[in-house]
Chains A and B, each alone.
Chain A
């Protein structure tokens, strides 16, 4: 028994079963897979730090995004705009203090030293973990009605006034308490649905499109995304959106009480934050 429980008040806080076993297992296998996929993916990007639209794209063609360097600076170029990134992207010091001209720095990549072959081996092995666990979770969550019951927004939640209210509450860092905290709020649902139904399928399909054998077997992939280089660009954009999701997700976990949140994702049990006392 820890201190929290004895000082919390007169009655012990209510505990609810918040996360099913399938959700908890997937959360952690997916966290591992996404972590490895992101970091090894950044290393693969370093091999050719330029993105194009269309079927082809190489050094003589015009990228819409590139990360590069001069003798003394690093930059990211988007269209015609060039944003200095010296010290972080394109031009940075490695752990030995040596200046490196690769796009993404060693602290952000797997492995930390330049190796396209190693990064591909990590990426293409963990891709199996990512895709298979996602597939099982996806099917299972429809079968056990997790999607229908917990993730699908209710009619009331979809009311624009409710959504606006939720945005204001989030902006003020006023999170649901009591009974309301047992369910996902609407912004949370949008975020999870976006990741599960949009970003992860997009990442998997655009990833497949980059494999030449897959394009021969499933030529509709090329038509769906407008070419291998477009698929590579979309893959990168979706990965950056996943990264954005992770950052917001972790900030929310910290703000909402990291111990309770992390524990609930391990054991399933969540301690409902007590209702606010009304203030005058």
Chain B
């Protein structure tokens, strides 16, 4: 008969040898990932239920700004199309607003810069852990969506971008709560200048209560959709599709 002491001892030894490869195996199991994803759903639900949906991200003073604002992800879109736009100063860049809208829009940069400007000094939080504080100038997304007129069945706003990761186009999406949030802007300027290319020229999204990968750069099309399932990989964004990052990046 096996003694309790022996049993506990072998359990302990076995645990050491099994736990680590076990975690890797669990990590690769689609059903276990699904189980862990309930954490993400719980976070989103709790945030929407408990935290103020209109709460503003902290705005800082100029003296709080990072001396150098780090850029990340695509720093120079390589497509011939983008290169052509860049070489003529984005004069022919057009932003389309379409999908589930009453009046689809096609706007030049000049038209966008003539719209009401919101300037905000906010903190940019990368999923990797670093933060940088910068000043952004742009038009509230709400004004663009109101101008186009969302249809009643629109649930998400999708941002289609000019940069590519390999063959995959960058895109991102947010829900209507974040889309109509006063600090959610389509920025065309940064730190008092026109948006530099590494930071998303000529237009990028700022969605201040979410992590950096949600802040789509090089935006050329804004689309209102009823669901995210039909787009690209179906998870609502490039990093979500390709690397299984969470769609909700408020934490």
Contact = CB atoms under 8 A, between A and B. Distances in A.
A joins B in a complex: yes
Contacts of A45: 129
A2 B3 contact: yes
B43 interface: yes
Contact of A60 (B5, B52, B68): B68
Given A58-B70, A214-B251, A216-B209, A112 B24 contact: yes
Contact of A216 (B56, B64, B128, B244): B56
A60 B67 contact: yes
B209 A213 contact: yes
A200 interface: no
A57 B130 contact: yes
A122 B66 contact: no
B243 interface: yes
Interface string B36-74: 111110110001001110011110100010111010000
B125 interface: yes
Which size bracket describes the interface of B in this complex? 35 or more
Given A128-B42, A213-B251, A216-B58, A112 B129 contact: no
A102 interface: no
Interface in A218-234: 218-219, 222, 228-229, 232
A217 B51 CA distance: 6
B198 to A, nearest CB: 13
Contacts of B42: 128
A121 B40 contact: yes
A121 B30 CA distance: 13
A29 B50 CA distance: 25
B39 A212 contact: no
Interface in B7-42: 8, 20-21, 23-24, 27, 33, 35-40, 42
A120 interface: yes
Contacts of A259: 4-5, 8
A120 B125 CA distance: 15
B245 interface: yes
Given A111-B27, A121-B40, A125-B39, A213 B129 contact: no
B173 interface: no
Contact of B246 (A121, A229, A258): A121
B244 A217 contact: no
Interface residues of A, number: 51
A120 B23 contact: no
Nearest to A123: B39
- A2, A219, A228: which has the most chain B beta carbons within 10 Å? A228
A242 B86 CA distance: 52
B141 interface: no
Contacts of B55: 216-217
A215 B50 CA distance: 13
Interface stretch (A18-26, A47-55, A190-198, A269-277): A47-55
A203 interface: no
B120 interface: no
Contact of A2 (B5, B27, B58, B239): B5
B207 to A, nearest CB: 9
Contacts of A212: 57, 123, 125, 208-211, 250-251
B24 A213 contact: no
B250 A121 contact: no
B43 A124 contact: yes
Nearest to B6: A2
Contacts of B47: 213, 217
B76 interface: no
A215 B57 contact: yes
B127 interface: yes
Contacts of B239: 117
Contacts of A59: 70, 130
9 contacts: A50-B130, A59-B70, A61-B66, A214-B250, A214-B251, A216-B52, A217-B50, A229-B131, A262-B8
Nearest 10 A/B pairs, CB to CB: A125-B39, A213-B250, A211-B251, A217-B51, A60-B68, A58-B130, A48-B129, A47-B128, A125-B36, A58-B70
Interface of B: 3-5, 8, 20-21, 23-24, 27, 33, 35-40, 42-43, 47, 50-52, 55-58, 60, 64, 66-68, 70, 123, 125-133, 208-211, 239, 243-246, 250-251
Given A56-B123, A217-B55, 19 more contacts: A50-B130, A55-B64, A55-B131, A60-B67, A112-B21, A116-B127, A117-B243, A210-B125, A210-B251, A212-B250, A212-B251, A213-B210, A216-B51, A216-B56, A216-B208, A219-B58, A222-B58, A232-B129, A262-B8
